[in-house]
Amino acid sequence: MTSIAQLPRHADVLVVGAGPGGAATAAHAARAGHQVVLLDSAVFPRDKTCGDGLTPRAVAEMSLLGLDAYLADRPKIVGLQMHGWGATQHIRWPSGRFPAHGSAVARTELDDRIRIAALDRGASMVEGVKAVGVDVSDNTVRSVQVAADDGTASIRVGQLIVADGVRSPLGRMLGREWHRDTAYGVAARAYASSGRADDSWMGSDLELRDAHGTLLPGYGWVFPLGAASGRINIGVGALATGKRPAHMALRPTLEHYARAQTADWQLSGPPVEIASALLPMGGAVSGVAGGNWMLVGDSAACVNPLNGEGIDYALETGRFAAARLQDGDHSHAWPALLAEHYGTAFSAARRLAGLLTVPKAVPLLGRPGIRSTTLMSMVVRVMGNLISEEDDDLIARAWHTAGVASQRFDHRRPFH
């Protein structure tokens, strides 16, 4: 915990939030020679409600942070074991531009490790101190007010990175608005001891039912955390829109789902540490930048609308933000950059996710879909955010075309 007397009075780059988005920004910016202060209201290591799954794209970003060795003795996840409507498909992550494996690491550990990578590269850390206010003129943040247990202070800033997560209190002070007319998620996770903690497949259930057998508009997951941990991360999620809010009772659904997985995943106890959270998705926010500030990660709603994964986007947007620190006014350039990288895919994915909030759509698409290996391979590629702008194969082109078409009908495009 940092005391008020120890606080710096000025930061060339102040990064608020030391999750993957903020810590990655701090690491890349410090490596590029900026004087960086990374500030978080929590004291690390801290937990973050999450499925703990790392897609191959997240593994690639970890590598850019010099963390290959750290991931070397973590689970190597080769693909998704997908279940539903009496069928199971094992779909490997596609080979290509990204590593052929993903991983899963509890966020208590992962976030602390990325944060330390930022400190190793020269960033300094302020813990247990909350950003509570901003002093803005001409769309430029001059200083950030902070509060610690022993008082309040003000830090003058050259540039500000807002990486304060899903609710983004600081982003909101700067005018960030979350629009719930497109799909967003609600999800809960827990941990359980498992005889299959060393499995190399992630479990994904497209058919989720409650204790009465009623089909729910959601999905379930089981992510093995490795032999050393002896645990799996288990969770359930639901998609919703402002018009069709999710009425799923997350905790009982998760407990029922865990009971249903007990034999298959050799669970030896009930789910513990149950926690839930909202997930803004698909760039459904406006007000993501100003003259000298940018929002990254969850605060910019950079979460895949089809499965709620956001760690890779947080790491990536942190890298992009660090790279444009020296480029001057971010007001238009930052939303344009985010839209260029994610706009078409987010538009198509959130439209599809919105369709999945219609109760009859899930079995209609899911029942035949799960039986088609080709279709499921496409789904895994889209869900894993594994189609890059450079890809030029048939699926990538179809997905891109769908995104361009979808954006034409968007009442509000991603990040606008």
Binding interface with ligand FAD (CB under 6 A): 16-22, 39-42, 48-53, 130-131, 163-166, 169-170, 187-189, 235, 277, 279, 297-298, 303, 308-312, 314
- Cα gap 148→188, rounded to integer Å: 30
* CB nearer to ligand FAD: pick between 85 and 320: 320
Helix (H) or strand (E) holding 128: none
The minimum distance between CB 401 and ligand FAD, in angstroms, equals: 26
Beta-carbon count within 10 A of 404 CB: 13
The minimum distance between CB 404 and ligand FAD, in angstroms, equals: 25
The minimum distance between CB 216 and ligand FAD, in angstroms, equals: 16
- Cα gap 14→38, rounded to integer Å: 6
* CB nearer to ligand FAD: pick between 128 and 363: 128
Enter the DSSP assignment of 182: S
CA 54 to each of CA 65, 79, 93, 246, 289: distance values in angstroms, whole numbers, following the listed order? 15, 11, 12, 26, 27
Structure tokens at 141: 């943040």
The minimum distance between CB 364 and ligand FAD, in angstroms, equals: 26
Q: Work out whether the CA dihedral 330, 296, 384, 95 comes out positive or negative.
A: positive
* CB nearer to ligand FAD: pick between 238 and 362: 238
Cβ-Cβ contacts under 8 Å for 134 (sequence gap 6 or more): 141, 143, 144, 145, 160, 170, 173, 174
Beta-carbon count within 10 A of 285 CB: 26
The minimum distance between CB 54 and ligand FAD, in angstroms, equals: 7
Q: What's the per-residue H, E or C state across 32-72?
A: CCCCEEEEECCCCCCCCCCCCEECHHHHHHHHHCCCHHHHH
Of how many residues is the chain composed?
416
The minimum distance between CB 114 and ligand FAD, in angstroms, equals: 9
* CB nearer to ligand FAD: pick between 207 and 309: 309
Helix (H) or strand (E) holding 214: none
* CB nearer to ligand FAD: pick between 130 and 400: 130
* CB nearer to ligand FAD: pick between 164 and 199: 164
- 262 burial via Cβ count (<10 Å: 0-12, 13-18, 19+): middle
* CB nearer to ligand FAD: pick between 70 and 85: 70
* CB nearer to ligand FAD: pick between 155 and 372: 155
The minimum distance between CB 276 and ligand FAD, in angstroms, equals: 6
Q: Measured at CB, which residue is nearest to ligand FAD?
A: 310
- Cα gap 197→52, rounded to integer Å: 13
- Cα gap 36→159, rounded to integer Å: 10
The minimum distance between CB 409 and ligand FAD, in angstroms, equals: 26
